[in-house]
Structure 1
């Protein structure tokens, strides 16, 4: 059944108009009054619904029964990454959302090719949030990961301690430990935050700053992975 993100309060029996983005999506798919759809607002679970009316730019629905469906991983995994260039960031956001990431933090780093600020950064953040929403609509996820505003890695590191009790930096420098070993030392549901670099990785100074901030330097193995591959590999490795 088609699924649509509806980030407003939902309750069984309510009749309401869908938010603009969901309404456009319903219209693009050429649904008609009487069609059954599924709604989720990102707070967990989902609702059945029936289309009541299709206007030129609005769609009215009646909300049906609530389904307490949870498809999220037992361990909350947060990703902070130096933004890869071109369409790779879109791809990374999409696949991370499909895999159940809890949040995404785009970062400017020394080796970043993509540089964003002001209105352009805000537009990109909004675009990536839409990519995450679409991925959740497709994969059945009922909790949409938050895509945070673009930040500078050094400033972000100073305020990252509250995000997760276990924080790891994907590092190519000496002194790393296998990620699998570090994860085995923690309860299976301990939230984890991963910091990874863009093309070219983190600089030596950024790697050192992360370690000073309490990040455990970890490795995914002997191969050097692309930026987007490394972040997703860490995400999958941490899931139970």
Structure 2
């Protein structure tokens, strides 16, 4: 059954016009009045549960789609931990691919970063357009994979400013956190040695993990030093050198699946 992200308040029995994005998608699929769809908005109920609504198309206009919202079902498909990916943006279409796959794996948020070795440089209107595009990629990935909480794609920022902002806002974090830096320095523990959900002292479900990874060529020595000074713990995936987007997804798969 087609799933659509509908960033609006939803309630059983309500009749509403779909926002422009999902309405256009319904029209592209050539759905008709009476066809069943599924809606989700990423919002939790009073008990903190997320889920999705059954719905039925009731009217198809030239540029509008009306639906009636049906029964809500609590559907938990989210990851054990809240993983926040801060990544030096890879070039070309690789960032699109990274955002899509990270959303499928269940990442909580994505922070695109410009670093010393970044090939992709964005600012102003171009950066805003890219952010909006990547957010749309994340939405489409969640519609496809069944995720009910769309990861937030933050505005593009340079690494130094991001570390400075984090230092000002994480002195007393409200949740248990772990800050991890993917590094090629040796000797350091591998991610599997450092992070094992089976260990008694492992983070509790719902904890927040902030994972920092570089672009093509990795972070510079000075940037790694700055991250370490900010409290990040270095880790490695092993002896192989992976592409920037592959390394980030390998870490996410280890932490989230």
TM tier, smaller: over 0.9
Match of 1:170 in 2: 182
Match of 1:142 in 2: 148
Alignment of 1:1-240 (within 5 A): 1-43=1-43, 44-160=50-166, 162=170, 165-184=177-196, 185-189=201-205, 190-239=207-256
1:179 Cα shift? 1.2
CA distance in 1 between counterparts of 2:18 and 2:165 reads 37
1:181 Cα shift? 2.1
CA distance in 2 between counterparts of 1:211 and 1:30 reads 53
1:160 Cα shift? 2.5
CA distance in 2 between counterparts of 1:194 and 1:140 reads 24
Contact 1:40 1:46 in 2 (8 A): yes
1:238 Cα shift? 1.1
1:159–1:177 distance in 2 versus 1, CA, 3 Å: farther
Normalization by structure 1: what TM-score? 0.97
1:175 Cα shift? 4.5
1:76 Cα shift? 1.2
Contact 1:175 1:217 in 2 (8 A): no
Segments of 4+ in structure 1 off by > 3 A? Answer: 161-164
Output the aligned Cα RMSD.
1.2
Normalization by structure 2: what TM-score? 0.91
CA deviation profile, 1:11-53 (whole Å, cap 9, x unmatched): 0000000000010000000000010000000222100000010
SS at match of 1:72: coil
Between the two proteins, the alignment pairs up a number of residues equal to 240
Unpaired segments ≥5 residues, structure 2? 44-49
CA deviation profile, 1:148-199 (whole Å, cap 9, x unmatched): 0000101101222537710011001234221122213522523211100000
